[in-house]
């Protein structure tokens, strides 16, 4: 049996690597599209772009590993079933469950590897990716056209921008609100538009109004033709804060949830994403549980049965995952149910298929 185990492990290596590589390329292509939209029209050194993709690679690997293991397990079981190797092992006294044990171990190991990469490698790589992104972003204040953007800067000011034009580096309909420490609006500054002057934004055709802590306006509005204001750093911080949930560690996400709940804000979306952070690596084992018995059962239909099964499982699994995510984000499902439903459903199906295999 040890010889068979080593043989199956060698056999799964190549299709696993191919499946992993293909899905990594797909995920990085999505990053390419997003990067192209954000840095539209900018001249970025190729080496800087290459570094950015290199630092994004660990996350792509972590999310692609389940698919790679799925392809490998399905192809191996199809191969040994069609070539009679599974029957030979069974004739020697081994059950199908014993024959599949090394593949199940690969799935379990994949869970640990995927989570370890996601938890310990991705955050570090993401920090370097963020630093690289800063270098690219600093080449131009506005990165891509956007409408009706609202965010806070490091000074706590609330900033609204009606439209950002990346071609002219111009902001239209700007409003900056400064609040009192205890709450309430203190100063409102509005400007028809703003332009870049070296490292500073200059507000044009604007007005400033002051308010007391009770919300009453004090004094007359002060109009101005031009007023410099430090918005460049605020804009770059805004772009960098738009990190996806998947690029944060579980510790960072739990801290964000605690911060939101302390402030009385809704943290449902973050709770759902955190649970998905835990549930997605488990797909490595779930995929093997489903693919192995199906690959063995339908191996007689052709050599590419494993590929077809892999595509079908990924499609159905992702469909359930997407519905769970959608219902979880709007609060119709508890975070744990939304994130783990696909693993429970397909895991139970896989265990049933493995148990009744003869």
* Whole-number Å distance between alpha carbons of 78 and 293: 9
Report the candidate in 306, 325, 302 with the shortest Cα–Cα distance to residue 314: 306
Question: Roughly what angle, to the nearest 10 degrees, separates helices 283-297 and 305-329?
Answer: 140
**Who contacts 319 (Cβ-Cβ below 8 Å, separation ≥6)?**
none
Rounded to the nearest angstrom, the gap between the alpha carbon of residue 7 and the centroid of all alpha carbons in its chain is: 35
- Residue identified by tokens 């310990």 is 120
Reading across the β-sheet that carries 146-152, which strands appear in turn? 146-152, 158-165, 170-179, 185-197, 200-211, 217-229
What is each CA distance from 277 to 90, 134, 204, 225, 305, in whole angstroms? 39, 26, 45, 50, 31
Three-state SS at 81:
helix
- Cβ atoms 231, 159 nearer than 8 A: yes
- Residue identified by tokens 């332009």 is 195
Per-residue confidence of the chain (358 residues) as pLDDT tens digits?
677 888 899 999 999 999 999 999 988 887 776 666 555 555 667 788 888 889 989 989 998 999 999 999 999 999 898 888 888 888 878 888 888 899 999 999 999 999 999 888 988 888 788 778 767 766 566 555 567 777 777 677 788 888 887 667 788 888 888 888 877 888 899 999 988 776 678 889 999 999 988 888 888 889 999 888 877 666 655 555 545 565 678 888 888 788 778 767 788 988 998 999 999 999 999 999 999 998 888 887 776 777 788 888 989 999 999 999 999 988 999 999 999 999 999 999 999 999 887 7
* Whole-number Å distance between alpha carbons of 330 and 353: 34
What is the pTM assigned to this prediction? 0.69
Q: What is the DSSP letter of 118?
A: I
* Whole-number Å distance between alpha carbons of 281 and 122: 14
Helices and strands: H and E segment counts in the chain: 12, 6
The pLDDT value recorded for residue 206 is 92
């Amino acid at each position: 049996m040890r010889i068979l185990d080593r043989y199956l492990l060698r056999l799964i290596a190549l299709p696993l690597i191919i499946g992993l590589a293909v899905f990594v390329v797909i995920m990085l292509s999505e990053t390419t599209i997003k990067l192209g939209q954000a840095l539209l029209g900018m001249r970025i050194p190729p080496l800087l772009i290459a570094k950015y993709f290199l630092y994004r690679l660990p996350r792509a690997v972590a999310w692609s590993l389940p698919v790679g293991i799925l392809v490998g397990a399905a192809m191996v079981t199809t191969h040994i079933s069609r070539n009679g190797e599974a029957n030979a092992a069974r004739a020697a006294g081994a059950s199908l469950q014993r024959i599949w044990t090394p593949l199940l171990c690969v799935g379990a190991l994949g869970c640990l590897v995927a989570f370890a990469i996601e938890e310990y490698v991705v955050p570090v790589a993401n920090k370097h990716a963020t630093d690289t992104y800063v270098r690219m972003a600093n080449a131009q204040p506005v990165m891509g056209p956007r409408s009706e953007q609202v965010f806070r800067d490091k000074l706590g000011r609330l900033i609204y921008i009606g439209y950002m034009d990346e071609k002219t580096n111009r902001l239209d309909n700007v409003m900056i609100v400064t609040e009192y420490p205890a709450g309430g609006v203190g100063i409102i500054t509005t400007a028809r538009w703003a332009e870049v002057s070296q490292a500073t934004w200059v507000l044009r055709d604007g007005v400033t109004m002051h308010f007391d802590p009770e919300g009453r306006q004090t004094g007359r509005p002060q109009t101005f033709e031009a007023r410099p204001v430090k918005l460049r750093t605020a804009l770059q911080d805004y772009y960098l804060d738009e990190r996806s949930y998947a690029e944060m560690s579980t510790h960072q996400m739990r801290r964000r949830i605690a911060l939101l709940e302390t402030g009385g804000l809704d943290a449902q979306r973050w709770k759902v994403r955190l649970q998905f952070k835990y549930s997605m690596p488990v797909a490595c084992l779930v995929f093997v549980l489903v693919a192995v018995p199906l690959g063995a059962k339908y191996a007689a239909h052709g050599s590419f049965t494993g590929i077809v099964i892999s595509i079908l499982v990924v499609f159905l699994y992702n469909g359930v995952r997407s519905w769970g995510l959608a219902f979880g984000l709007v609060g119709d499902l508890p975070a744990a149910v939304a994130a783990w439903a696909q693993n429970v459903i397909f895991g139970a199906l896989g265990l049933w298929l493995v148990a009744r295999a003869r």
